[in-house]
């Protein structure tokens, strides 16, 4: 009973009203090992972020909310850069006693530098849903690089549900990497397993032009017009400065409080029986955040060829803190841990579900051409 619930389990929970909503859950929200969460009708700009605790969301809103906004499905609402918003989630949970959850931003949210965190009604931690939780969900949304236009029904975060402890231990992870590796270096070798407090496979940054186009990253430009999440035609050059490859090996100096997009040197190949999570940022590696969207659904990078012949790189969403930081090619930045699914999902990322990021290299959010 240590596993992640998969697509067919999520449909069963919806059928049993353990996951419900005034507006029915859309089939497209159901991912192989996670559920996309929709923005609901109400939003509040806040004086500050908060955790509800025993006083609950409503009482904290009475103190911290600056206004109440109504989100519409058609007409977008402006969320201003560097302002914290709380938004009610369309979905409501009545989980079985042994089912708990963890949330994270979706890939597009992370690549737009939108900081997204989930709250429960009396939660004492972000992004955690306790076992057997019954009640509403809320997301804290903070656009950090661009003003953002949102609508009711937009999906900025996703939720995965689990029983027990689904993470593979060090020995299991070593067996996977020794057999059919799910994480390979650029030369085809299996990624090494690091075994200390959190068993995982190390991943690093590519600054030597892994896609062969002379560009290894992007830096967000300041003071740009708002991004409408529904659009898919924004000019990348208007919003991003390209970072050229670094064949000299001198590295790239990242400026404080700036946002960057890079990609990993390694590739992932996530088979149906597994999903994956990026291990939270380790402050001993430097004063920077390396990713926002930390969950990888089953089927990511999983093509028709053998594991060594397919796979996709992960995009790194890096925001520096306090001081300039030298980023060098091959520098280890985080780990990936593997999670056990209850069964093979009946849909797979990139095969049965359309995706903007399957078999990706260095790629911006889907709003940019």
Residue spans of the domains in the chain: they are 3-163, 170-340
**How many residues in total does the chain contain?**
369
Q: What pLDDT score was predicted for residue 280?
A: 62
Buried b (16+ CB within 10 A) or exposed e, 307-341: beeebbbbbbbbbbeeeebebebeeebbbbbbbbb
User: Of the candidates 23, 25, 22, which has an alpha carbon nearest to the alpha carbon of residue 12?
Assistant: 25
**230-233: long-range contacts (C-beta < 8 A, 24 or more apart)?**
230/76, 230/149, 230/151, 230/154, 231/367, 232/366, 232/367, 232/369, 233/369
Residue 113 Cα distances to 137, 145, 204, 350, angstroms: 22, 6, 20, 24
Average pLDDT over residues 178-190: 86
- Cβ-count burial of 63 within 10 angstroms (0-12 exposed, 13-18 middle, 19+ buried)? exposed
Q: Which CATH fold would you assign to the domain 170-340? A: Deoxyuridine 5'-Triphosphate Nucleotidohydrolase; Chain A (2.70.40)
Q: What is the pTM of this model?
A: 0.93
Q: How far apart are CA 118 and CA 141, in angstroms?
A: 9
Query: Are 3-163 and 170-340 equal in CATH topology?
Result: yes
pLDDT in tens, 62-107: 999 999 999 999 999 999 999 999 999 999 999 999 999 999 999 9
**DSSP code of 279?**
P
pLDDT in tens, 216-245: 999 999 999 999 999 999 999 999 999 999
User: Of the candidates 245, 242, 243, which has an alpha carbon nearest to the alpha carbon of residue 329?
Assistant: 245
**What are the phi and psi torsion angles at 46 (to 5°)?**
-120, 155
User: Of the candidates 171, 187, 153, 364, which has an alpha carbon nearest to the alpha carbon of residue 260?
Assistant: 364
Q: Which CATH fold would you assign to the domain 3-163? A: Deoxyuridine 5'-Triphosphate Nucleotidohydrolase; Chain A (2.70.40)
pLDDT in tens, 248-306: 889 999 999 999 999 999 999 999 999 999 886 555 555 567 667 689 999 888 864 55
User: Of the candidates 159, 150, 247, which has an alpha carbon nearest to the alpha carbon of residue 206?
Assistant: 247
More confident residue, 360 or 161: 161
Q: How far apart are CA 229 and CA 193, in angstroms?
A: 38
């Amino acid at each position: 009973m240590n596993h992640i619930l998969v697509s067919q389990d999520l449909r069963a929970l919806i059928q049993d009203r353990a996951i419900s909503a005034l507006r029915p859950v859309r089939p497209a929200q159901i991912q192989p090992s996670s559920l996309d969460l929709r923005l609901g009708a109400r939003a509040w700009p806040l004086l500050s972020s908060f955790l509800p605790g025993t006083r609950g969301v409503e009482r904290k809103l009475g103190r911290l909310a600056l206004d109440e906004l109504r989100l519409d499905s058609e007409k977008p609402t402006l969320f201003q850069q560097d302002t914290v918003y709380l938004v009610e989630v369309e979905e409501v949970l009545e989980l079985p006693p042994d089912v708990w959850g963890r949330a994270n931003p979706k890939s597009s949210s992370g690549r737009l530098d939108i900081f997204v965190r989930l709250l429960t009604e009396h939660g004492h931690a972000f992004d955690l849903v306790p076992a057997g939780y019954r009640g509403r969900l809320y997301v804290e949304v903070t656009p950090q690089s661009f003003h953002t236009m949102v609508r009711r029904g937009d999906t900025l975060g996703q939720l995965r549900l689990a029983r027990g402890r689904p993470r593979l231990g060090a020995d299991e992870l070593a067996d996977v990497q020794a057999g059919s590796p799910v994480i390979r270096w650029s030369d085809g070798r299996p990624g090494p397993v690091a075994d200390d407090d959190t068993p995982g496979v190390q991943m690093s940054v590519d600054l030597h032009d892994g896609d062969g186009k002379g560009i290894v990253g992007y830096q967000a430009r300041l003071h740009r017009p708002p991004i409408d999440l529904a659009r898919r035609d924004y000019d990348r050059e208007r919003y991003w400065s390209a970072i050229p490859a670094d064949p000299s090996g001198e590295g790239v100096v990242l400026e404080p409080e700036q946002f960057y997009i890079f990609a990993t040197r390694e590739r992932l190949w996530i088979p149906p029986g597994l999903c994956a999570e990026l291990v939270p940022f380790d402050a001993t590696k430097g004063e920077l955040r390396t990713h926002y969207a930390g969950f990888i659904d089953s089927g990511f990078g999983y093509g028709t060829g053998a594991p060594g012949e397919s796979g996709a790189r992960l995009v790194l969403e890096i925001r520096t803190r306090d001081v300039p930081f030298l980023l060098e090619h091959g520098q280890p930045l985080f780990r990936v841990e593997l999670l056990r699914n209850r069964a093979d999902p009946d849909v797979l990322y990139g095969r049965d579900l359309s995706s903007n990021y399957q078999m990706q290299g260095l790629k911006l959010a889907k709003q940019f051409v």
